Structure 1
Amino acid sequence: MSQRVYIFDTTLRDGEQSPGVSLNVPEKVQIAKQLARLGVDIIEAGFPISSPGDFESVRAIAREVKGVTVAGLSRANFLDIDRAWEALRGAEQARIHTFIATSDIHLKHKLCMTREQVLEAAVAAVKHAKAYTSDVEFSAEDASRSDFDFLCQVLAAAIEAGATVVNIPDTVGYSIPLEWGRLINDICHKVPGIEKAVVSVHCHNDLGMAVANSLAAVLNGARQVEGAINGIGERAGNAAVEEVIMALHTRKDQFGVFTRAHTEEIYRTSRLVSALTGMKVQANKAIVGDNAFAHEAGIHQDGMLKDRTTYEIMNPAMIGISKSNLVLGKHSGRHAFRQRLESLGYVLSKEELNSAFNSFKKLSDKKMNITSEDIEAIIEEEMSRLPHAFALDYLHISSGTAVVPTATVGLRRDGQLSEEAACGNGPVDAICKAVDKITGINCTMISWGINAVTSGKDALGDVNLKVTTDGCKVFTGRGISTDILEASAKAYINAVNKLIWDSMHTEREVGSEK
């Protein structure tokens, strides 16, 4: 049996199904490129038939992201599979991932199909997908609650039809490690032809056991693990990819397997996904949380000062957390700035570097010392900008306990300045109403939150908010500034720009299909 474990990342498909998350095509491509740098083996780019936006994002990733397999999800029917291939055909390495439920619960209440019909559909789907690409993955949805003999029958039939990967999902996060490991072991030993396929697992975290179940599966023969960065996804989420990678790496003595992941890209990938989805990583999150390498207890600090390994089983540098003694400030030049970016792992084009350096200079006029965290925030904000979008030119606020909050806002788009003023229940509300007047779009703000990037009175405020116009599709905005009202304005404008971009491209895609 191979000792390599393949990492199948579904951040852009299952991860985006997290409530309140909506990524546009450029954001998905940006994340996909970072996932490729991380060294995942397969990127599940989306569910092409689900929407024009998903189709376009899968197609864009297939065309632009190299050195990695790009997968598209499809139900076990020909229309889904045809649409998936249409999106994937430009990929360097393409995989069609087709699925159908196998549990009696799903057969009775969702599919209204017999076991014989499901078996027939699974075989037909794999054969149809196989006509497009040699790399076909078959998933038995709700496998953990399926009848074992029927599950084995479907898996064997899928392999015989040409499936190169068979995925065993714990769709509702029902299993516990002992029984899940036993199930995978039984499948590896009892399914005819199983040696012809890679056994995969896709574990959900409803009982908080997604990573533990995934690792139990590896110990029992699984050689592909599916998950999402930061563990995001439906309901309580998926197995956290970074936790799986580091557990296999740190405990080689127990697992005896390896991945091709570049661990030093983990932290950067986590930060990017958090920034673009608007889902903040909890402080005590394993591997990538703010407290993961923090030590407050005196006895811990004493041990750390004597030898890091007393209380750390992983070196922060191993996941890409870099500390530099080079202090940046208002007198720092482009070379020092570029050097810090390189030490943090960012590779920017000349135009991106110029834009980021200008933002750095503006910030250095307001802050004495610029930290790595400040620079990361600047880069993440720069990378979230869309072309030909509205940009904040100026902002004037009048507010206080004895006056009605009023905002005057100037926005530029393609060089043209537009100005409006509005009153609101507070300064942020006034800003949003003024922006709405300029753009002609009335948004409803669902959430607003702010975090300090670093400590101190001059810390950057990092505002994340979510807006909608129809109550269905949600757009995330992010803005940073030492002034929280300016950060709020930038975040709101960022969300509105995404909304405009999405509506323009949706209309274009619908028009092109008529």
Structure 2
Amino acid sequence: MKRKIIILDTTLRDGEQALKYSLTAKKKLKIALSLENMGVDIIEVGFPISSPEDFKSSQIISNNITNSTICSLARCVDNDIEVAAESMLKAKNFRLHIFLATSDIHIKSKLKKRFQEIIDMSVFYVKKAKKYTNDVQFSCEDAGRTNINNLCKIVEKVIEAGANTINIPDTVGFTVPYEFGKIIKYLYNNVPNIDKANISVHCHNDLGMASGNSISAIKEGASQVEGTTNGLGERAGNTALEEIIMAIKLHGNLLNAYTDINIKNIYKNSKLVSKICHVPIPRNKAVIGSNAFSHSSGIHQDGMLKNRNNYEIFNPTIIGFKKTKLNLTSRSGRSAIKQKMLELGYKEKDYDLNKLYNKFINFADKKGKVFDYDLEYLAFKNEKEYKNFFLLKKYSVNYKLRDYTKLKIKLLCGDKIKNIKITTKKNIINVLCKLFSKTTMLKIVLLNYESFTTEKIENLSIRVNISVKYKNRTFYGTGISKNYLESYILSLIDVLNNIWNLNDIYMNLKKNIF
């Protein structure tokens, strides 16, 4: 019979420690509700003694969460435990999570105590925590570097004192999976009352081993995994829970385990956390990165088109992710081009695949990534026929007006000059997009923009990439200048030219193609 693995999400506590700014109670509640909706068993909401805002957050979340257990952190200090318990009094279910360092280096250099004193303190404060709730978790801080026999002693004693869950953290991300798995196995074989508590693991990613260590621990009997959404956390971060959840989903038989997580909400939750915390999800992030289900190699693309299982271990839509993406690059083959043209509504008789492929390869070598509208253009026109219908002739900006930005732009549209004038307090980026849309009569909606700087400081340039929606299709533009605002204006003009040239194709194509 498979074991249920309890999922404890500590994004709001450990994950927040990695952010530039603390999250407000309102933002924390949004994340907590998302975690509850995803089916997370336990939500660690903060460290209430640390600040009034953390206490307030714990109270508000406790009042609004009904399905997940609420958990707060406390040191082995009287006031810590009392304040943590007070913050969760209105929670339907709550857990007190207390911790104390157990490794020699922490005991001697940080706490300046003897190991027996650590045992005595741990037992005392577990008993104190039990006065407030039956659900008490004790963490052996830096367990990964704790003498294994000492670890067994303290685990036995705190279970005897009433701790329901014992957390074994790899606090500094020091261990490797084989080693960490052995620690868990040793505890199960040498602590006589181990069956009276759940064994939890909390791994950090300093060596990139957090997920591997957590999976090894599950294999050896651990019944709870702690981590964060998107792997947020101190230093290199924590175990990324989306990785653990999907690993258990795909290898449930091997691990003899399952979770109660609603995996359809994984991607939605990841995006929400990323947005609220202002921490972008890395493109190559496992499970949820934008490149995790993108394929560029022609061999991979061909294999994917024949059977997605050739190069995808699960369908991204099951976690709420967008569908698989075939990137068009110089490494793409004919099969990917043919498929993309089919998706765009063209049959093989509408164009010459060999000619298109040859033009595509030359274009891709120069541009890098090729978009679907580039492919359409290459299919029916030559690259040299591309027109820069819109051109920036002149612009000036004044930031000195109180709270206002004043901007004047001369835009060449074919053979006509259009004057664009802006005086606004609002986000100049959004205002510019709307005015360019109105001026050119191309109804675009801004989706996203991002800026990058060159590495050479003495010759600094700013590159702005934007994406817009036009007639239910996404178009991209790039602008490069030494001035950020000019780079953005140029990126807008670039995207408008891409749309103009594609419209030019449509007007000249035979109607029966469509």
1:254 maps to what in 2? Answer: 254
Distance 1:309 1:407, change over 3 A: farther
Gaps of 5+ in 1: 325-398, 409-418, 425-430, 436-455, 465-479, 489-514
Deviations 1:88-113 (A, max 9, x none): 11111100000000011111111122
Matches within 5 A, 1:138-287: 138-287=138-287
Q: Take 1:77 and 1:250, find their aligned partners in 2: how far apart are those partners? A: 42
Shift of 1:253: 2.9
Distance 1:218 1:400, change over 3 A: farther
Gaps of 5+ in 2: 325-391, 408-421, 427-442, 452-466, 470-476, 478-483, 489-514
Paired residue type of 2:399: T
Q: Conserved in 2, the CA contact under 8 Å of 1:185 and 1:221?
A: yes
Q: Conserved in 2, the CA contact under 8 Å of 1:203 and 1:210?
A: yes
Q: CA RMSD of the aligned region, Å?
A: 3.1
1:111 maps to what in 2? Answer: 111
Q: Take 1:407 and 1:90, find their aligned partners in 2: how far apart are those partners? A: 52
Structure showing greater radius of gyration is 2
Distance 1:269 1:402, change over 3 A: closer
Q: Percent same amino acid at aligned positions?
A: 45
Q: Conserved in 2, the CA contact under 8 Å of 1:75 and 1:81?
A: yes
Q: Conserved in 1, the CA contact under 8 Å of 2:397 and 2:405?
A: no
Q: Take 1:400 and 1:106, find their aligned partners in 2: how far apart are those partners? A: 65
Deviations 1:456-492 (A, max 9, x none): 985423569xxxxxxxxxxxxxxx999997xx9xxxx
Runs of 4+ in 1 over 6 A off after TM superposition: 399-402, 480-485
Shift of 1:87: 0.5
Aligned residues: 363
Distance 1:245 1:56, change over 3 A: same
1:460 maps to what in 2? Answer: 447
Matches within 5 A, 1:29-428: 29-322=29-322, 403=396, 405-406=398-399, 420-421=403-404
Shift of 1:174: 0.2
2:9 maps to what in 1? Answer: 9
Deviations 1:388-414 (A, max 9, x none): xxxxxxxxxxx9988563276xxxxxx
Q: Conserved in 1, the CA contact under 8 Å of 2:316 and 2:323?
A: no
Q: Take 1:277 and 1:400, find their aligned partners in 2: how far apart are those partners? A: 39
| Higher relative contact order (CA closer than 8 Å, sequence separation 6+) | 1
Shift of 1:287: 0.3
Q: Conserved in 2, the CA contact under 8 Å of 1:200 and 1:226?
A: yes
1:439 maps to what in 2? Answer: none
SS of match in other structure, 1:180: helix
Q: Take 2:163 and 2:171, find their aligned partners in 1: how far apart are those partners? A: 20
Paired residue type of 2:141: E
Distance 1:307 1:157, change over 3 A: same
Q: Conserved in 2, the CA contact under 8 Å of 1:45 and 1:61?
A: yes
Paired residue type of 1:53: E
Q: Take 1:90 and 1:462, find their aligned partners in 2: how far apart are those partners? A: 43
Q: Take 1:462 and 1:150, find their aligned partners in 2: how far apart are those partners? A: 54
Normalised TM-score (structure 2): 0.66
SS of match in other structure, 1:71: strand
Normalised TM-score (structure 1): 0.66
Q: Take 1:481 and 1:135, find their aligned partners in 2: how far apart are those partners? A: 51
Q: Conserved in 2, the CA contact under 8 Å of 1:77 and 1:121?
A: no
Distance 1:290 1:158, change over 3 A: same
